[in-house]
Structure 1
Amino acid sequence: MKILIVGAGATGGYFGARLADAGRDVTFLVRERRAEFLRERGLRVAGLERELRIEPKVATAGQLGGTFDVVLLTVKAAGLQSAIADVAPAVGPETVIVPFLNGMAHMDALAEAFGAEKVLGSVVHLVGTIDAAGDIAVLRPLARWTLGEQGGDASERLARLVAEVSVPGIDVVPAQDGLDAMWQKWVFIVSAGVVTCLMRGPVGDIAAVPGGAGFVADVVAEAGAVAAAAGFPVSPGEQAETVAFLTEDGSDFTSSLYRDVTAGLPNEGEHIVGDFARRARSVGVDTPLVDLALLQLRVHEAGMARG
């Protein structure tokens, strides 16, 4: 099975390195600068029981030779449209497209470009970053990949893909419904983003002050109400787990959205929080806390644009 991974950042690089290390046929589609770096240094993953290093096959836009069986889109939202254009020559009649992006807006874009029938629902959990050396640093021992057909039908192609990507270092979970799995994660990342961006700190500090834990619970309930109205309810047990995680005593956890904002980097506020707020309106759910966080993110972006 020929696998094309679009992007070689922390997430795409980690999953691609694991697949290639297990003997899978993996090619990374990256920008020229990243391609040069990977050719010279290799793709390295630190923070594991041993450093993982591979000599990756890389290609840049215009260098793809033929179609691939699977395309894994691991770019962030800002790079989605250019990635769609770059990857188009690699998509054939039987190609399966699996996005790693958060939220749901990208599913519409991929359906418009390639047809919804080509796209699987997919959720990845990995806590990692690109370190100062340009390598991938894994920060927590978690690498889970949940994927499934949209709408929940079992399929032979899903079974084949699950078998192909089930390699050491990746916990692969077939989902009964790929879209439902995506909504469950969306509720979590919206909750985490709203909590940390509004309160400007790690969740342990937020929970430690009077009213902090109650605020977290209100945000999680608000996000859960949107998912339920959209037809993808989060179970009470899962909501309770999210609240517990986001109120853990002494936890230094912050959302990736918060980390990008405080570092002055491009962020996915519109893709994650903005689209969530828009969908809340479409299903008739009021989201004052989500809206407040979105307003703050937009003000921050306006300030960044002014320089």
Structure 2
Amino acid sequence: MKILVYGAGVLGSLYAARLHDAGHDVSLLARGDRLTSLRERGVLLAENDSKKITQVPVPAVESPAGKYDLILVFVRSHQVETVLEQLVGNDGDVLFLVNWAGGPEPLAAAIGRERVLLGFGNQGGTMDGDIVRYGRRTLLTRLVSMPIGELDGQTTPRVQRILQMLRSAGFTAKAEPRMDAWLKTHAAFEVPLAQAVHTAGGPDALASDRGALRGMIGLIRQNLEALPTRPVPRAFSAVRVLPDGVLVALFRLLLRSTAAAPLGTTSAAASGELELLTEQVGGFARGR
């Protein structure tokens, strides 16, 4: 299977490198200085703050032109429209591993419903110049599976092939029959959290502000109540009923952990994604 990873940020670079190390025929799409760096040095990986840097010679391309069996899309949600325009002429299956609460219809309308799969990457990290710094794999990260699924919820042979491919590269992955609901639930949770972090001035500052945490929890509950279907995974339903004090304590643990580092990102790309996700969540919250 010939694979293209579209997007050379943290996740795209990490997944491309792991797939390459596992022996898969994979190329990584990038542009500008990032493309130059990848062609000269490959993907550079380091665990957290480690000084040990691993160099993975993933082939880098600047266009999705060519024949690919599978395209993994790792971009910010507000960049999806541009990606769709470039994938119209490609015949490969497209797995969107993107923060996306706008439903599958815009994706299917642009490139064909039969080509679209939905998913969400379960690995985190940050860019340190050209170095991808990723978190250490823990028991928790091994237990939290990367969900992927067909639009109709069936576990098809192509889903099975993709799962096998991801697992061969060391990723924990599973078939999710309600992937659209999963993405909407994730956004219902993430948007108030990201907005509260931004307003407070960072994860640590938010963790210390009990009033802001209670306000954020209230917004998350409103979003979950407005979902057109029940939350997926079901565990998110607990946010509706757990006492504020318990949720405040849990969010404080989250915000003071390494998992909260990406929430402090204030780049234009992160802001653009949050703006679109806010609009998408607002759409189903208004009953659209």
TM-score when scaled to structure 2?
0.82
The CA deviation at 1:167 is: 2.4
Q: Which runs of 5+ in 2 are unaligned?
A: 241-246
| SS in structure 2 at match of 1:126 | coil
Q: Which runs of 5+ in 1 are unaligned?
A: 284-307
* Deviations 1:237-277 (CA, angstroms, capped at 9, x unpaired): 3354794542328715647465225x896531222112211
Q: Percent identity?
A: 23
* Deviations 1:83-123 (CA, angstroms, capped at 9, x unpaired): 2233334x21xx22111210223733321211122111211
| SS in structure 1 at match of 2:126 | strand
Cα distance in structure 2, aligned partners of 1:104 and 1:249: 23
| SS in structure 2 at match of 1:53 | strand
RMSD over aligned CA atoms reads 2.9
1:1-307 map, 5 Å: 1-47=1-47, 51-61=53-63, 64-65=65-66, 67-89=67-89, 91-92=90-91, 95-105=92-102, 107-132=104-129, 134-139=130-135, 141=137, 142=141, 144-202=145-203, 204-227=204-227, 230-234=228-232, 237-240=235-238, 243=247, 245-248=250-253, 251=256, 254=260, 256=262, 258-260=264-266, 266-283=271-288
Match of 2:243 in 1: none
Count the aligned residue pairs. Answer: 273
Q: Is the 8 A contact 1:224 1:234 kept in 2?
A: no
Q: Is the 8 A contact 2:191 2:274 kept in 1?
A: no
The amino acid across from 2:161 in the alignment is R
| SS in structure 1 at match of 2:105 | helix
After superposition, the Cα gap between the structure-2 partners of 1:240 and 1:199, relative to the gap in structure 1 and judged at 3 Å, is farther
Q: Is the 8 A contact 2:77 2:100 kept in 1?
A: no
Cα distance in structure 1, aligned partners of 2:110 and 2:255: 45
Q: Is the 8 A contact 2:4 2:70 kept in 1?
A: yes
Cα distance in structure 2, aligned partners of 1:264 and 1:54: 26
The amino acid across from 1:61 in the alignment is S
Cα distance in structure 2, aligned partners of 1:37 and 1:81: 26
After superposition, the Cα gap between the structure-2 partners of 1:119 and 1:70, relative to the gap in structure 1 and judged at 3 Å, is same
The amino acid across from 1:217 in the alignment is I
| SS in structure 2 at match of 1:169 | coil
The amino acid across from 2:133 in the alignment is A
Cα distance in structure 1, aligned partners of 2:255 and 2:39: 41
* Deviations 1:109-161 (CA, angstroms, capped at 9, x unpaired): 321211122111211122211112x1111145348521011232221111111
After superposition, the Cα gap between the structure-2 partners of 1:136 and 1:250, relative to the gap in structure 1 and judged at 3 Å, is closer
Cα distance in structure 2, aligned partners of 1:184 and 1:264: 22
The amino acid across from 2:196 in the alignment is V
The CA deviation at 1:79 is: 2.7
TM-score when scaled to structure 1?
0.77
The CA deviation at 1:52 is: 3.6
The CA deviation at 1:10 is: 0.3
